[in-house]
Structure 1
Amino acid sequence: MRFHRNFVRAFSMSALAIAGLLATTSLAGASEKITIMVGGYEKQIYLPAKLTEALGYFKDEGLDVELLNEAAGVDAENQLLAGAVQGVVGFYDHCVDLQAKGKFVQSVVQFSQAPGEVEVVSNKYPDVKSLADLKGKNLGVTGLGSSTNFLTLYMASKAGLSGGDMVTVPAGAGATFIAAMQQDQIQAGMTTEPTISRLVKTGEARVLVDLRTVETTRAALGGTYPAASLYMETAWVDEHKEEVQKLANAFVKTLKFINSHSAAEIAEKMPKDFYVGDKDGYVKALEAGKGMFTADGVMPEDGPKTVLAVLSEFSKNVKGKQIDLSKTYTTEFVKNAQ
């Protein structure tokens, strides 16, 4: 009997010790939480963020990822620099702009090779046939200092307009952008899907310049324009290579999913409120624009130079500065993910 009690006690203590060891091992192996801010995750240009979450690819990599929403990319950038988030899904051009300020961030996964943006014009102004006709007009952008602001100024300049010929107005995206156009606070503006399709479908606006495909982007800007990306502070990347590799693995799998599935199949994975009451319109918009996404997360070779050309003209931070483009992105992780 005494042997039995001793055996039970010894077995129980061994079981507790093993459980404690397993718990310690589990905690040691658990990834720290990674918070990524998305510059408007309902926008189709940033679709890979929510799609990766929906497909379970973060969890497959053993990652604990939280996605936060922020309407303007410039505000998401500020959150990254403040240390509130570890990554941003936003436009690559922030990596160039920030280097001019002495801050080093880099695109670690390049989602797109075209902006996915469109310059729309209110149908209250039927005489506007080209960008040159926007002289004296208020043009909506996501925010002052945002990617849409720089692109708008660059395209207007190519059309012969100077900075004083029009006013760029921060109008956000989605409902705020639509309201600004309905109230005639802006007469034209740069926005993304599904806002574009909503305005066109209701007859409130029409497309003036289309930057949703690689071909139309080359025609308007002179080259491919890498836009949506996952960018992170270089120092954080260097110190967390394992986590960054897992993020790259997850996002590259998503880009391959986008490349190999129909717009309808992709839409089924997205939150239903992203359709804004028009699923067919959402699918059609995605079908027309999903060619903007890279198939492998690799930076297009000629892209950074196009971005630098735009910023060198209209970013006060970049103008006249020497920028080392090789430090604004890395292909290390996405190539390892292949």
Structure 2
Amino acid sequence: MRKNRRRIAAFALAVLLPVLAACGGGSGGGSSAGGTIDVTIGVGGQASIVYLPTTLAQQLGYYEEEGLNVTLQDFQGGAKSLEALMGGSVDVVSGYYDHTNQMAAKGQKLKSFVTMLRYPGLVMAVSPETDKPIGKIEDLKGAVVGVSAPGSSTHLFLNYLLSKKGLDPRKDVSVIGIGLTGTAIAAMEKGEVDAAVLTDPAATQLAKRHPDLKILMDTRTAEGVKQAFGTETYPASVLYSKAEWIEQNPEAARRLARAIQRTLKWIQQHSPREIAEKMPSRFHGGDESTYVEAIDHTMPMFSPDGVMHPEGPQAVKEVLSLSLEEVRRAKFDLKETYTNEFVQ
């Protein structure tokens, strides 16, 4: 009997030990059970602060701690990242949530699985070198307006602002792609565009160099989001992928979501300067103090927990319906465009 008990105990221990090791205590601190997973993430303008958590997670070593081998591919704008996802050259996109709605209207199933920004952080500014008298959105008629890339979220934001004021986005303005960082600043300062949709750090850098910079709309704050969209929250940068990829790779999605959640928590616990010091120096644009200031401006935008709140997607769909006929006419379930499964 004693021998049998010892055998049973030894057998139970042999079975339980691997299971306990795999569970890792449930602390959310980097279990890599199942081996390292390779993931390629396309970023719609990596140096832009709206995508900061994606790079910061790598700088902090959180991807590696979660058992991920992450490759970040930088693109000019969100539309280019989306193209890469649909073409199969990236697994996941660090981009704006509105692309999941835009593609759902076309019958393509994309899904967001962790939210990084609760405000879009988009700034509509007038070029300091334009000769056009632009003081309000309506004055953009006949202007050349810069966006990160045609079809990107900055372009959709422009279309929304124009449509809201009764202008035709296809006829009343000319749109060109200027990127989001140094190239956007250069286009504004050289007068290549009359106005542009910017993000930080470009918006802060340009305002510092031109104190009289005219800003027509600023969605970096709750007040600005309310003015632009009439809502308290408007989900912006997220990690999203094809719904099929998430279904087939739930562990990769879970680890990515956990790494971003840890990064968002780290952001809440550190100062803008400490955050800037962790980022690649090339993102500073040669002016670290302005970069720190830009991060300070965007601190309220970062989600504290990565969770998508249900009123946010509804607001996005309503905005897109105003500027995109295909979204307005399409019938799709918003609950299919995001999931909180991996962040709760």
TM over 0.5: yes
Residues 199 and 206 of structure 1 are in contact (CA less than 8 Å); yes or no, is this contact kept in structure 2? no
1:69 to 43, 68, 74: 74
* 1:220 Cα offset (Å): 0.9
Once residues 229 and 207 of structure 1 are traced to their aligned partners in structure 2, the CA distance between those partners, rounded to angstroms, is: 26
Residues 135 and 214 of structure 2 are in contact (CA less than 8 Å); yes or no, is this contact kept in structure 1? no
Once residues 230 and 126 of structure 2 are traced to their aligned partners in structure 1, the CA distance between those partners, rounded to angstroms, is: 23
Residues 113 and 300 of structure 1 are in contact (CA less than 8 Å); yes or no, is this contact kept in structure 2? no
1:201-259, Cα deviation, whole Å (9 max, x unpaired): 22184322111122211211112221100001111111111121111111100011112
Specify the SS of the correspondent of 1:40: coil
Residues 113 and 214 of structure 1 are in contact (CA less than 8 Å); yes or no, is this contact kept in structure 2? no
1:176 aligns with 2:180: no
Residues 141 and 148 of structure 1 are in contact (CA less than 8 Å); yes or no, is this contact kept in structure 2? yes
Specify the SS of the correspondent of 1:283: helix
Residues 150 and 310 of structure 1 are in contact (CA less than 8 Å); yes or no, is this contact kept in structure 2? no
Matches within 5 A, 1:202-281: 202-203=209-210, 205-223=213-231, 224-281=233-290
Once residues 311 and 159 of structure 1 are traced to their aligned partners in structure 2, the CA distance between those partners, rounded to angstroms, is: 15
1:153 to 142, 159, 162: 159
1:49 aligns with 2:57: no
TM-score by structure 1 length? 0.87
1:143 aligns with 2:149: yes
* 1:28 Cα offset (Å): 9.6
2:139 to 133, 141, 155: 133
Once residues 173 and 53 of structure 2 are traced to their aligned partners in structure 1, the CA distance between those partners, rounded to angstroms, is: 34
Which of structures 1 and 2 has the bigger CA Rg? 1
Residues 87 and 230 of structure 1 are in contact (CA less than 8 Å); yes or no, is this contact kept in structure 2? yes
1:114 aligns with 2:119: yes
Once residues 34 and 333 of structure 2 are traced to their aligned partners in structure 1, the CA distance between those partners, rounded to angstroms, is: 37
Residues 139 and 169 of structure 1 are in contact (CA less than 8 Å); yes or no, is this contact kept in structure 2? yes
Specify the SS of the correspondent of 2:196: strand
1:145-175, Cα deviation, whole Å (9 max, x unpaired): 1111111111122234333322222222223
Greater CA drift, 232-241 or 173-182: 173-182
Question: Unaligned 5+ residue runs, structure 2?
Answer: 1-31
Tell me which stretches of 4 or more aligned residues in structure 1 moved more than 3 Å. Answer: 124-127
Matches within 5 A, 1:82-101: 82-101=87-106
TM-score by structure 2 length? 0.85
Residues 45 and 179 of structure 2 are in contact (CA less than 8 Å); yes or no, is this contact kept in structure 1? no
Once residues 285 and 295 of structure 2 are traced to their aligned partners in structure 1, the CA distance between those partners, rounded to angstroms, is: 14
Residues 72 and 146 of structure 1 are in contact (CA less than 8 Å); yes or no, is this contact kept in structure 2? yes
Question: Unaligned 5+ residue runs, structure 1?
Answer: 1-26
* 1:95 Cα offset (Å): 0.6
Once residues 29 and 217 of structure 1 are traced to their aligned partners in structure 2, the CA distance between those partners, rounded to angstroms, is: 42
Number of aligned residue pairs: give it. Answer: 309
Once residues 308 and 34 of structure 2 are traced to their aligned partners in structure 1, the CA distance between those partners, rounded to angstroms, is: 31
Residues 218 and 225 of structure 2 are in contact (CA less than 8 Å); yes or no, is this contact kept in structure 1? yes
Specify the SS of the correspondent of 2:175: strand
Aligned residue identity for 1:304: P
Residues 128 and 188 of structure 2 are in contact (CA less than 8 Å); yes or no, is this contact kept in structure 1? no
Once residues 152 and 128 of structure 1 are traced to their aligned partners in structure 2, the CA distance between those partners, rounded to angstroms, is: 15
Residues 35 and 65 of structure 1 are in contact (CA less than 8 Å); yes or no, is this contact kept in structure 2? yes
1:198 aligns with 2:195: no
